[in-house]
Chain A
């Protein structure tokens, strides 16, 4: 694909990512906030897709949008509080100043070509991935035990 086309498309996707992240911040309903968060993740996966990083796209889409996003939306729908926002103006001001400085002085000419999608990691480090999976199952079992003990 043309590099200029990719750069323009990334700018559009990046703007949409930022817009949905702001939507998650500004909406008062937890449910819509979780929906905006899932959309942000989808746009992040879209940016990965533009760089032809398919394994990463599959991981982010399946794990983040498919599992984490759906669970968060379910929890947000359960505790659907329409609480009033309490954004600290002092913090918002600091973040606005830092963001503006970054946008003004960030080197816009940084460009790079993604060489490989890194899929060989999975075959080379299968044991490490299995270890991570085992750790994940252990964490899962521990949380189930804690919740059961609290429920008694």
Chain B
């Protein structure tokens, strides 16, 4: 059950990331993906609880680092381009 919910939440987050028009929405979608990851870890607690807890701790730290980097990216984007819209990002993907 947890794995199914985890997969569905990850799908919702993917759809959100694909349809995001600004970077704030992208940040929220990434955090939703982590919610899916946390749910997917639960079955591991039945077999290897210590490893599962270790994976959970590392996932939480990873998400914290992702949040820090994305927030600084949003702030820098706002400073340089006067906006946080996805269309204002002109490198790292399609360029106009």
- Give A residues with C-beta under 8 Å from B: 7, 10-11, 14, 17-18, 21-22, 24-25, 30, 33-34, 37, 40-41, 44, 47-48, 51, 53, 55-56, 59-60, 63-64, 67-68, 71-72, 75-76, 79, 81, 83-88, 91-92, 95, 98-99, 102-103, 106, 108, 110, 112-122, 124-125, 128-129, 132, 135-136, 139-140, 143, 146-147, 150-151
What are 23 of the A-B contact pairs (CB < 8 Å)?
A: A14-B2, A21-B13, A21-B35, A30-B24, A34-B28, A40-B35, A59-B56, A63-B60, A64-B63, A71-B67, A83-B25, A88-B19, A91-B14, A102-B8, A103-B4, A108-B1, A116-B50, A118-B53, A129-B57, A135-B61, A135-B65, A140-B68, A150-B79
CB-defined contacts of A83 to chain B, threshold 8 Å? 21-22, 25
Cβ of A21 and Cβ of B42 under 8 Å apart? Answer: no
The majority secondary structure among interface residues of chain A is helix
Task: Tell me whether A150 and B80 are in contact in the complex, defined as CB-CB below 8 angstroms, given that A17-B9, A30-B28 are known contacts.
Answer: yes
Cβ of B53 and Cβ of A40 under 8 Å apart? Answer: no
CB-defined contacts of A87 to chain B, threshold 8 Å? 15, 18-19
Task: Tell me whether A91 and B61 are in contact in the complex, defined as CB-CB below 8 angstroms, given that A10-B2, A121-B54 are known contacts.
Answer: no
Q: In angstroms, how far is the closest chain B Cβ from the Cβ of A82? A: 11
CB-defined contacts of B11 to chain A, threshold 8 Å? 95, 98-99
B39's partner among A47, A92, A115, A143 (CB-CB below 8 A) is A47
User: 11 more A-B contacts (CB under 8 A) besides A56-B53, A110-B1, A132-B57?
Assistant: A7-B1, A10-B1, A25-B12, A40-B32, A71-B67, A81-B85, A91-B14, A106-B4, A110-B3, A114-B46, A136-B64
- Give B residues with C-beta under 8 Å from A: 1-5, 7-9, 11-16, 18-19, 21-22, 24-25, 27-28, 31-32, 34-35, 38-39, 42-43, 45-47, 49-54, 56-58, 60-61, 63-65, 67-69, 71-72, 74-76, 78-80, 84-85
Q: In angstroms, how far is the closest chain A Cβ from the Cβ of B89? A: 15
Cβ of A47 and Cβ of B42 under 8 Å apart? Answer: yes
CB-defined contacts of B64 to chain A, threshold 8 Å? 63, 67-68, 136
Across the A-B interface, the 7 shortest Cβ-Cβ residue pairs: A118-B53, A112-B46, A118-B49, A116-B49, A14-B5, A143-B72, A87-B19
Task: Tell me whether A41 and B2 are in contact in the complex, defined as CB-CB below 8 angstroms, given that A75-B71, A76-B24 are known contacts.
Answer: no
